[in-house]
Chain A
Amino acid sequence: MSELILILIILFLPLLSGLVGFISKYSSIISIVGVSFSFLFSLVLAFDRKVIRFEWLWVEGVVFSIHIDRISSVLIVLVNLISLLVLIYSSRYMEEDNGDKRYFAFLGFFIFSMLGLLMTNHLLLLFVFWELVGLASYLLIGFWYQKESVPASARTSFMINRIADTSLLAGIILLFRDGFDLTIGSEPILWTILPSILIAVGAFGKSAQLPFSGWLLKAMAGPTPVSALIHAATMVAAGVYLLVRVSPFLPQEVLNFIAIIGCLTSCYAAICAIVRHDIKKVLAFSTISQLGYMVLGIGVGAADASLFHLITHAFFKAGLFLGAASVINFMCNAHKNDSRDMRYMGGLTSKLPWTCRSFILCSLALAGLPLFSGFLSKDSILLGAWLFATKTGSWAYIISDLAIFTTLLTAFYVARMVLLVFFGTPRTNLTNYKYRESKRLYFPLVILGVFSLFIFFNLNPLGHSSYLIEYMGFPIQHLEGSIIPFLSILMVISGFVLAFSWFKPGAKYTTTYLKNSQPKSGLGIFALEGFQLGELYRRVGIAIYKLSLAAAYLDRQVIDPMLHFVSIGSVVGSKVLALIERFMVNGPVNLSASILAFLGKRFAGLSARDGQTQIIWLLVMVILILGWFIFF
């Protein structure tokens, strides 16, 4: 019972502190305090090492359950920790915004839903929280709802998520129909194909895999700390989390499908990240790409590696986004025009020293350089892909090779971003704006930067797993002597070298490149447009809207007029009947009456004349009658 209370406290404290903050003056402090307590309690939970289960009947036939094992408890700590850091950062970042109360209330709601998602193993309850995190994301993307294009971005990202979520819901219901237990984690029985695919597609939606990846770019319209928490570290990883949970139940064909989509997404997004100028968009594509790695890991049967990458990625990507937030904030004040465009940046090292240091640490982790956390986790995924290829052969080798090649692309765009933002001299005239890196801003950054080092996850800098993964109960594989780590190091280094040779401060290419901002080659333009995915969404949306206009036309111009036709028809019919009544039924009656009246009038004159005429008429009649008798 005490455990249930502990769980409920962890779950509801962020929500309550958000709500209380909304009606009080000190919203940020209340939120921070609430989430810190939630964090401390979740540490207690994680060290408890027990599996906790509670069940209750929701509706007849559906028993919801809370189930916390080691995987969930570690992830709960992770979510709480990153939320706490982002809240601390936001408390300074949002200070001048007059909607800050709403901001912290929404964030509290998000943390609540995300924790709830991690606490259940019932698919329907998971879906409930799955939608709630989607709502929180929608509210926070649309946080600056008065700005141009923000509302449309919020709606688009929610709708794309909704489509994928519907697929997930359909998958869950089909599982129910086929008689499977909706509680994950009992004995592994393979699910049937159709629900498995639908559930995988649902996960693709949340984790921004092809073809849903575009919503994450739209999501960048929100405040940047929100992007750090929701659209990099936690919510987008929910799809990966779901896949990790259900992967023992998925048939091999579906796993193959997942591996292919993951690999394609990771490569596609890395290409797009290379040509983008907007720092947030580069980071968004990089998130999509890294999520692609995680999905790939699940497909190739290395779910533990995916989970590991999820954790390391949460740290360094949150760090990168918070760093980008500082950069954008600085640019916003120093250079009014376009605060997110990397072409206007450069030489920010001296202006933002702490931001720069932690940003570089996180970048190296993202690139996957040895000694950093990203190397450990990405390497385990690559290793998993390679093992999978040796087992499956043929097309699986392409997947494995493509994944390794993508590390080169990753290193390239990471180096390009860092060089363009921090090194060289400022490329535009910056005002004399003096940016004060307050403690609340750089403390979270430094923490996240430090957590990008290998030492927190594995003492061996060239290893490919972590004690965390061991703690979660996955078997540790020992695969020493493989060529993969060296191959990936080679790729990273060549990526760096290429980037340095093109974007080295002062290099000729840099200046020309920055002047002619648009890429010239077809592939470049194509990549800049995100492979026309946005266009695809727009067309689908327009098609649906046209369909709805057609339905409205049908309703107003066909169905209703039919009704009007019937009613007008009955009125016309009644008018016709009235005419018939007037001329054909009533007419003859009146006609005979008027004939009689006419005759009557004519003959009435007879009696009115004088005596002589009457006698003459009498004689005429007598003659006529006599004639009748004589001749007939």
Chain B
Amino acid sequence: MQYLLSYIFLFPLLIAFVMLFIPSEHRGVFRRLALAATSVQSLLSGVLLYHFDKQLKPSSWEAAFQFVEQSDWINLGLGFIGDLRIEYYLGVDGISLPLVALSSLVLLIGVISSWNIREKVKGYFILYLILSGSIIGCFVALDFFLFYLCFEFMLLPMFFLIGIWGGERRSYASIKFFLYTLFGSLFILIVMIGLYMSIEKGGINSFSITAMLDGNYLEDSILNPAERGKIIGRPARALAFIFLLIGFGIKLPLVPVHTWLPDAHVEAPTPISVVLAGLLLKIGAYGLFRILYGVFPDMAVKYATWVASFGVLSILYGGLNALAQRDLKKMVAYSSVSHMGFVLVGLASLTSIGFSGALFHMISHGIISPALFLLAGVIYDRTHNRLMDDFSGLASKMPVYAFFTAVFFFAGLGLPGLSGFVGELMVLMGAFSTSVFGYWLAILAVLGIIISAAYFLWTIQRMFFGHYFVRESVRKENMFDLTSGEKAMFIPLALFVLLLGIFPNLILNYSNETIQFFINYISQFRP
């Protein structure tokens, strides 16, 4: 039990290492091993959920984390600069735990949907497992350096997975994705160094996130709130806040730095789109939750209106773009932009219901958007075409497919009873009742609900209703309904969507205490 997080984090990496020694002729072995690895990961996450103490009322951030593992990792003397002290420091609280559970679920689904990968199987699954290890690492790391390492390390497998197994414009998309996120990471790196210079733990500089959250600043340090340190005439903490917002905002993604997303999502192979939409975006949101809002609550209060405005912009702009798309996968990609805007608005509200809503919306979108990409993948697998206008009346040809599409589309447009509604509702309740920004922003955010209904319904109308019809240019010999393997992916996702929509407390029970503590902690910075 003590090293549970390490097992979840490192087990896929270990299996990837083992795979290196298996000759690539044994093609069938790799996917089975990957399935085994992600299944074990999911089981361990289940154990983690079971043993997590939901009632724990933390007194400080240091005490808020459970399953903590802490040991020295790198200690380097750096001459006159001081020491470099990096720890191997893991732990989960009510915010990261649901995300760990979500990750193991989505990664498992991703392996199942990779079952039909035919080319370069060995390389694919090794990269996939490296990716899955680093995703989990991001959510459990409590040392900023370790977090940053995992955060960057995801780019590498992602770059190759899109660039080698992707669609027609894969090289363009993968380079764009890589450069965009690398650019964002630089901003995070700068702030990370600044924080290391300013934070102490036991008298020594430290990367410890808990020390940052608890505000253990060194005297005379640049980011110490009491010092009002300035960089080229600007308050250092404000700059750090903006840098982190850009850095994590690119990952989120935030309009106007979102343009990597449609290309990467569209060109990536289906399982990678699933992981990308389901988890990578959530890492951006998690970074905002943990680092941006946890370490800079004073700035969060100060810039609430701006952050919320960007959130609302993402909601409306992403929604309108989704309405204009003709490619099914692109429509889904832009709907992700729109939905992640709700997360940002919920965060910016700085209320406990808004925070819970943002977290819940992350989980719910983490289930819905993988399902939507799988749905787009189904039609692409069969016809090598995803243009909405090339299809019509699919409901009569592929009724089961139409059924699942309807379920996830309605979940996406926020139908009550499915999980999408709960997150949006709580975020809006937070946004309307907060005092840090005016409720005109919340009213604009409400309009996003109408737009999302418009693009999902219009897509249903165009692709699934009407007479059965497929454009001449489309391969149509393979138009069969869902196979049992595909059903095996959609049924659990649909059940989760329904279950969480009816009993949101299944997730929120884990996070309530942490978020309550978080909000109380922030409230001391409010004017």
What is A's interface to B at a CB cutoff of 8 Å? 57-61, 124, 127-129, 131-132, 135, 142, 145-146, 150-152, 154-155, 158-159, 162-163, 166, 169-170, 173-174, 176-177, 544-545, 547-552, 555, 559-560, 563, 567
What is B's interface to A at a CB cutoff of 8 Å? 176, 179, 256, 259, 262, 317, 320-325, 352-353, 356, 393, 395-396, 410, 415-417, 421-422, 425-426, 428-429, 432-433, 439, 442-443, 446-447, 449-451, 453-454, 457-458, 460-461, 464-468, 504-505, 508, 512
Q: Which residues of B contact A155 (CB under 8 A)?
A: 457-458, 460-461
CA separation between A166 and B322, bound complex, in Å? 20
The dominant DSSP class at the B interface is helix
CA separation between A560 and B256, bound complex, in Å? 9
CA separation between A132 and B502, bound complex, in Å? 13
Contact B466 A544 (CB under 8 A): no
Q: Which residues of B contact A560 (CB under 8 A)?
A: 259
Q: What are 27 A-B pairs at a CB distance below 8 A?
A: A59-B353, A60-B512, A124-B425, A128-B421, A132-B417, A145-B393, A145-B466, A146-B465, A159-B453, A162-B450, A162-B453, A169-B446, A170-B432, A173-B425, A173-B442, A174-B432, A177-B432, A177-B433, A544-B320, A544-B451, A548-B320, A548-B323, A551-B317, A551-B324, A552-B325, A555-B259, A563-B176
Contact B454 A544 (CB under 8 A): yes
The 8 Å CB contact of B256, one of A163, A173, A559, is: A559
Q: Which residues of A contact B457 (CB under 8 A)?
A: 155, 158-159
Contact A166 B465 (CB under 8 A): no
Contact A173 B429 (CB under 8 A): yes
Contact B321 A127 (CB under 8 A): no
Contact B508 A60 (CB under 8 A): yes
The 8 Å CB contact of A60, one of B356, B416, B468, is: B356
Contact B505 A57 (CB under 8 A): yes
* Residue of A whose beta carbon sits closest to that of B434: A177
Q: Which residues of B contact A176 (CB under 8 A)?
A: 429, 432-433
The 8 Å CB contact of A151, one of B262, B433, B461, is: B461
CA separation between A155 and B413, bound complex, in Å? 13
Q: Which residues of B contact A163 (CB under 8 A)?
A: 450
Contact B429 A145 (CB under 8 A): no
B393 to chain A, nearest CB (A): 6
Contact B504 A59 (CB under 8 A): yes
CA separation between A57 and B505, bound complex, in Å? 9
Contact B432 A146 (CB under 8 A): no
The 8 Å CB contact of B415, one of A57, A131, A151, is: A131
The 8 Å CB contact of A166, one of B323, B433, B449, is: B449
CA separation between A563 and B446, bound complex, in Å? 30
CA separation between A124 and B504, bound complex, in Å? 14
Given the interface pairs A163-B450, A548-B324, the reply to whether A58 lies near B505 with Cβ below 8 Å is yes
A136 to chain B, nearest CB (A): 11
CA separation between A356 and B465, bound complex, in Å? 36
CA separation between A60 and B352, bound complex, in Å? 9
- Can you name 15 extra interface pairs (CB under 8 A) apart from A145-B465, A159-B450, A555-B321? A58-B505, A59-B356, A59-B426, A59-B505, A135-B410, A162-B450, A169-B449, A170-B432, A170-B446, A173-B433, A177-B433, A548-B324, A552-B321, A555-B259, A559-B256
The 8 Å CB contact of B321, one of A158, A162, A551, A567, is: A551
Q: Which residues of B contact A567 (CB under 8 A)?
A: 179
CA separation between A59 and B393, bound complex, in Å? 39
CA separation between A559 and B422, bound complex, in Å? 32
* Residue of B whose beta carbon sits closest to that of A174: B432
CA separation between A154 and B465, bound complex, in Å? 10
Contact B443 A170 (CB under 8 A): yes
Contact B465 A151 (CB under 8 A): yes
Given the interface pairs A151-B461, A159-B453, A551-B317, the reply to whether A559 lies near B259 with Cβ below 8 Å is yes
Contact A59 B422 (CB under 8 A): yes
Contact A545 B323 (CB under 8 A): yes
CA separation between A132 and B421, bound complex, in Å? 12
By CB atoms of chain B within 10 A, which of A129, A173, A176, A545 has the most?
A: A173
Contact A173 B395 (CB under 8 A): no
* Residue of B whose beta carbon sits closest to that of A59: B504
Q: Which residues of A contact B446 (CB under 8 A)?
A: 166, 169-170
Contact B320 A547 (CB under 8 A): yes
CA separation between A560 and B330, bound complex, in Å? 15
Contact B353 A145 (CB under 8 A): no
Q: Which residues of A contact B504 (CB under 8 A)?
A: 58-59
CA separation between A181 and B453, bound complex, in Å? 29
Q: Which residues of A contact B465 (CB under 8 A)?
A: 142, 145-146, 150-151, 154
* Residue of B whose beta carbon sits closest to that of A152: B461
CA separation between A174 and B176, bound complex, in Å? 42
B162 to chain A, nearest CB (A): 17
**Shortest Cβ-Cβ A-B pairs, 10 listed:** A151-B465, A552-B324, A128-B416, A548-B323, A551-B320, A548-B320, A145-B465, A548-B324, A177-B433, A151-B461
CA separation between A551 and B449, bound complex, in Å? 17
CA separation between A47 and B365, bound complex, in Å? 46
CA separation between A549 and B466, bound complex, in Å? 24
CA separation between A116 and B338, bound complex, in Å? 31
* Residue of A whose beta carbon sits closest to that of B179: A567
B311 to chain A, nearest CB (A): 16
Contact B466 A146 (CB under 8 A): yes
A620 to chain B, nearest CB (A): 65
* Residue of B whose beta carbon sits closest to that of A547: B320
B466 to chain A, nearest CB (A): 6
CA separation between A131 and B422, bound complex, in Å? 13
CA separation between A544 and B422, bound complex, in Å? 26
Q: Which residues of B contact A124 (CB under 8 A)?
A: 425
B99 to chain A, nearest CB (A): 18
Contact A127 B453 (CB under 8 A): no
Q: Which residues of A contact B320 (CB under 8 A)?
A: 544, 547-548, 550-552
Q: Which residues of A contact B176 (CB under 8 A)?
A: 563
CA separation between A36 and B422, bound complex, in Å? 34
CA separation between A548 and B466, bound complex, in Å? 24
* Residue of A whose beta carbon sits closest to that of B353: A61
CA separation between A89 and B368, bound complex, in Å? 39
Q: Which residues of A contact B460 (CB under 8 A)?
A: 155
Q: Which residues of A contact B415 (CB under 8 A)?
A: 131-132, 135
Given the interface pairs A135-B410, A177-B432, the reply to whether A146 lies near B451 with Cβ below 8 Å is no
Q: Which residues of A contact B352 (CB under 8 A)?
A: 60
CA separation between A555 and B320, bound complex, in Å? 11
Given the interface pairs A59-B356, A59-B508, A559-B256, the reply to whether A145 lies near B464 with Cβ below 8 Å is yes
Q: Which residues of A contact B426 (CB under 8 A)?
A: 59
Contact A131 B416 (CB under 8 A): yes
The 8 Å CB contact of B417, one of A57, A128, A142, A152, is: A128
A157 to chain B, nearest CB (A): 10
B509 to chain A, nearest CB (A): 9
CA separation between A590 and B443, bound complex, in Å? 69
* Residue of B whose beta carbon sits closest to that of A544: B454
CA separation between A544 and B439, bound complex, in Å? 23
